[in-house]
Structure formats: C-alpha cells, structure tokens
Amino acid sequence: MSMALPYWRLSGFYFFYFSLLGATAPFLALYFDHLGFSAARIGELVAIPMLMRCVAPNIWGWLGDTTGRRLAIVRFGAFCTLVCFAGIFISQSYAWLALIMASHAFFWHAVLPQFEVITLAHLREQAARYSQIRLWGSIGFIVAVVGLGKLFDSLSLAAYPWALVLIMGGIVLSSWWVPNAEPQLRPNTLGEGGFIRQLRRPGILAFYLSVGLMQLSNGPYYTFLSLHLESLGYSRGLIGQLWALGVVAEIVLFLVMAKLLARYSLRTVLLASFLITAVRWLLLGNLAHHLPVLLFAQLMHAATFGSFHAAAIHFVQRSFADRQQGQGQALYAALAGVGGALGALYSGYSWNTLGPAWTFAIASLVVLIAAFITYTRISDEQPTSCIADRVTDNTRA
C-alpha cells in the first residue's frame, strides 16, 4: 500500500455513507407503512429521492469539475442532508414527508459522485484497489441492516428517524477527516472536445441506458422486498440479516474484483451481472417463501450490485477525460436515479394490482433488455490502460 494513500479515512466515509443506505433501503418502506401510507403512496415517497438523482448529481458534478472544490461540495452536501432530514421531526404528513425526501436527497446525491472522483484521485496508479476501499461501504450497510433489524424487533419504528439522524451525523464528521485530492492530469487519449462530445463516443450512451434499465429493475427490490418478506412471515430481524447476506456476497465479490477486471472485459462483466439479476428477480417474486431459495437469491446480490457497480465505475473512469470525470460519475448517478425512481413508481402501482410475482417478472424483463443493449452496442474489448495497467497491487488492506 502506498504510504500516501489515506485508506482508512476514505473507507470510513464509505462506511457511514452506505450505513445510511442500509438504514433506508430495507426500512424506509416499513417506516412509511408504519405511518399508515398505502403501497402507491409508499412508492411515490421512495421515488422522490431517486428523482433527485436525475437533477442533483449533474448540477454538483458540473460545479465540481468547474471549481475543482469537490471535497467542499462533499462536506456541504453532507451537512445540508442532515439539516434537511431533521425536519422530519416537525410533521409526518404526506406533503411534508415529500418535501423532506426531496430536499435532503438533493444534497445527499451531491456527495457520492464527487467522493468517487476524490477516491480515484487518491488511488492514482492503484485504481484496481477501489473495490478494497468500497467494500467498507458494504460493511457499513451490513452493520446498519442487522443492527436496526434487531432494534426494530424490540422497539417501535417510531425510533427510525433518530437512527437516520445519527448516521447522517457520522457522514458529516467523516467528511472532515478525508484529505483532498484532484485527478491526475493524463494525456488526452479520448479526443478533443467537451463532455457532450465524449458522451457521443461509441457505446457510451448504450452503457448509460443500460444503467438506467438496471436500476429500474431494482425498483421492486429496494421498495418492497422488506414488506414482501414480512408478509411471508419473516421477522424484521431476519429480514435485516437477509439484506446483510446479500451485502456479504457483495463484499466477497469486491475482494476479487480487481482480478476479474484484469481477466474479463467490462462488457462481459456487465452482461453476466444483468443475466444473473434477471434470474434473481424471478426467484424473489415466485419462490421467496422457500428459505433456501431466498438465501441463494440474496447471494446473487454479488452480481446485481457488486460486479455491476464496480464495472460501471471503471467504465466511466475509462470513458471520460480528467476534467469530465465528475460529470461522468454524476451522469451515472443521475441515470441510476431515473431508473430507480421509475422502478419505485411502477412497483408501487403494480404491487397491489398485479402482485409480487408479476412485479418482479417485469423487473426481470427490463434487465434482459439491458443485457441485449450491452451485447449489441458495447464492444467486447479488454480493459484499457486506464484499468488493466493499474492492476499493480492486489494486496488486501
């Protein structure tokens, strides 16, 4: 490990940031159900933060690329996320909660794309070690889902907002512990022109469309899986452990991701991720009442999120010049937000009318479309020097 690499400071931020995701993904819908909202209203409330990902990352990404003050944006976004969400203690009406979801998400989605650029700038020639740092986000997710699952088995979900505020406080504090870094200027091998021109290069738009479809297919999972499992008789504590199992599989995948990226093309990794995800949604929609099948489906999260996300981050880094890195990562987050919001909305409206099986079947079809686009529109080339030449240090931290 390079002595200049602030491994634990970077990892600590990912730990708290994804602890917040671990607190929201499994339990946010349960909290809204606890407040008495219908499935449609739950889908709308969950979709609002995802819709913010359509706008916020691009605004903050442009600002980060223009000013170069990425760390200041991360710290400002983390603080405003906490302040805005704290308004949840004022009221729990639908309109007020919608405002809270929109306002805190606008700042929350400013944070991660800029922090990804900072992390990769710290890594420099060790970019393949990104997964070893990012896995601490997965550990934070596990701590949150297991801990809160056990907590809510014994306490009312009325304590839920307090848990989120504490985690947000951790994000704020950890952001001040991270030193700044800017992307190292490289020879322009991507051609002249700005962000839009780079976006028009072959395969780039197809990649972003596939990202949106992948996240659309995740809609039923992130919005209704916990309610689905609770209706099948699983306890909240076990539900938290099942979410954690998926992330454990994700961590194992992250530990070997550098070797996979060195051996297989990004297109191959993305295709495998899409096809495994399609099978996973069918299992969750039809056979989740069988615990062994459910356990197997959760292990498939290694592909649904782990290999897909790691390959996507490297694809963006490979595809854009240094001064467009922030916008490239922001567009990735934005397209994921568009897909996630549409997924939450369609699943919210179809859950009570079509049922879980058909809702997940639609998700499976959507991700198969993403696989087809990737297969036909993205070239099957090995990772460029931006990735393969950087696989120089696979030592576990």
Does 3 map to a domain?
no
DSSP 204: H
CA 336 to each of CA 11, 66, 179, 305: distance values in angstroms, whole numbers, following the listed order? 23, 23, 28, 12
- CA dist., res. 270 & res. 199, Å (int): 19
Taking the CA atoms of 378, 296, 136 and 344 in sequence, report the sign of the dihedral they define. Answer: positive
Does 188 map to a domain?
no
Does 32 map to a domain?
yes
Total domains present in the chain: 1
Report the predicted TM-score, pTM, of the whole model to 2 decimal places: 0.77
Residue pair 5/199 in contact (Cβ under 8 Å)? The answer is: no
| Tens of pLDDT, residues 197-230 | 777 777 889 999 999 999 999 999 999 999 999 9
Does 187 map to a domain?
no
Q: Which range marks the domain in which residue 332 is found? A: 8-179+193-390
From the number of C-beta atoms within 10 Å of its C-beta (0-12, 13-18, 19+), residue 166 rates as middle
Does 206 map to a domain?
yes
pLDDT, mean of residues 284-292: 97
Question: In this predicted structure, which of 133-147, 176-190, 227-241, 268-282 has the lowest mean pLDDT?
Answer: 176-190
pLDDT higher than 50, residue 3 = no
Task: Give the residue among 384, 374, 379, 388 at the shortest CA–CA distance from 263.
Answer: 388
Does 54 map to a domain?
yes
CA 115 to each of CA 37, 57, 61, 326: distance values in angstroms, whole numbers, following the listed order? 35, 12, 11, 9
Task: Give the residue among 124, 145, 123 at the shortest CA–CA distance from 132.
Answer: 123
- CA dist., res. 73 & res. 68, Å (int): 10
For 265, other C-beta atoms within 10 Å of its C-beta total: 17
Does 223 map to a domain?
yes
Does 185 map to a domain?
no
CATH code (residue 348) = 1.20.1250.20
